[in-house]
Amino acid sequence: MTSVSGPLALGTMMFGSWGNTDETECHKMVHRALDAGITLFDTADVYDAGTSERILGEALRGRRERVVIATKVGSPIAGDALRSGLSRHWITTACDDSLRRLGVEHIDLYQMHRPDPSTPLEETLAVFDELIRCGKVGAIGTSTFSAAQLDEVHAICTSNGWVAPITEQPPYSILARGVEHTVFPALKRHGMGALVWAPLNGGWLTGKYQSEATDANDRAHRQPDHFDHRNDTIRAEKRGIVDRLSVIAADHGMTLTTLALAFVLDDPTVVAALIGPRTLPQLEQLLTFETLSLPGGAREAIDAIVGPGHMVNPADAG
């Protein structure tokens, strides 16, 4: 079985036209991550219609044995409904396409990108089991599934003797803690690990959105509908919270970013936190930590600002 371990994993959604079209720099980011000890690399077929997978595969050429490659299937590629979902036909087609783009013989962790209400779960899980048994896939996971959906998935796998998912990929950060009271207990019930995305809440927990003076290439400009950049009320609330969190970080001799990453990794359910920088300098900034352990008293101080299970913006649930 594929082993997925942290503490940090590199997400490559930004590789390609969604973020960084300089493929040489993207390759350097992968190599820098490897040098820093990162061994899990996460992508998806939907990211720039497969471009992210291709760039990642090229960057890892000759280094395959050192890494765990995770990708996803299900979201519409280039908005095409015929290239989406979790049907038997599409999963088998998409898996072969991902293997070709990545330039590998098997995918270590193949994830259902989102639930597909139009396809019976039995059909989806049966084909994933077949992909594992024929050697194209090492292990399977889910992404942004609810606790009830995870319970259903495992009940079906158990009753049919199929291989069950080993990971769930939920959004989780100090500003988005909803999974603590719902998804995390389900993961514990089923012996799954959380591979969390958006641990920095789209950049909010780096502190770079504390003023209106932001880089024109940042998500605030490129994707203003995500992470509250069009919502004045929530933007103001997040800025106030980030100011208070910055004080906690300073009190413990940490950067805000390190505090945020240490917080999500402090939960034993979390096996790795996905970081998704757009540029090599951004990656370098994320790697300037001495430790990712949460200091004593820091969790209690954070809880007093954003309580367990609370979502500052419910839309951050993905």
Q: What string of H, E and C letters represents the secondary structure of 78-96?
A: CCEHHHCCCCHHHHHHHHH
- Looking up tokens 């061994």 gives 39
pTM for the structure as a whole: 0.93
CATH architecture of 8-317: Alpha-Beta Barrel (3.20)
Residues catalogued as catalytic: 47
Residue 178 is predicted with a pLDDT of 97
pLDDT tens for the 318 residues of the chain, in order? 345 545 999 999 999 999 999 999 999 999 999 999 999 999 999 999 999 999 999 999 999 988 999 999 999 999 999 999 999 999 999 999 999 999 999 999 999 999 999 999 999 999 999 999 999 999 999 999 999 999 999 999 999 999 999 999 999 999 999 999 999 999 999 999 999 999 999 999 999 999 876 666 666 555 666 566 678 899 999 999 999 999 999 999 999 999 999 999 999 999 999 999 999 999 999 998 878 999 999 999 999 999 999 999 999 998
Among 43, 60, 48, 59, CA closest to 21:
48
Residue 318 is predicted with a pLDDT of 86
Residue 1 is predicted with a pLDDT of 36
**141-155 pLDDT, tens digit each:** 999 999 999 999 999
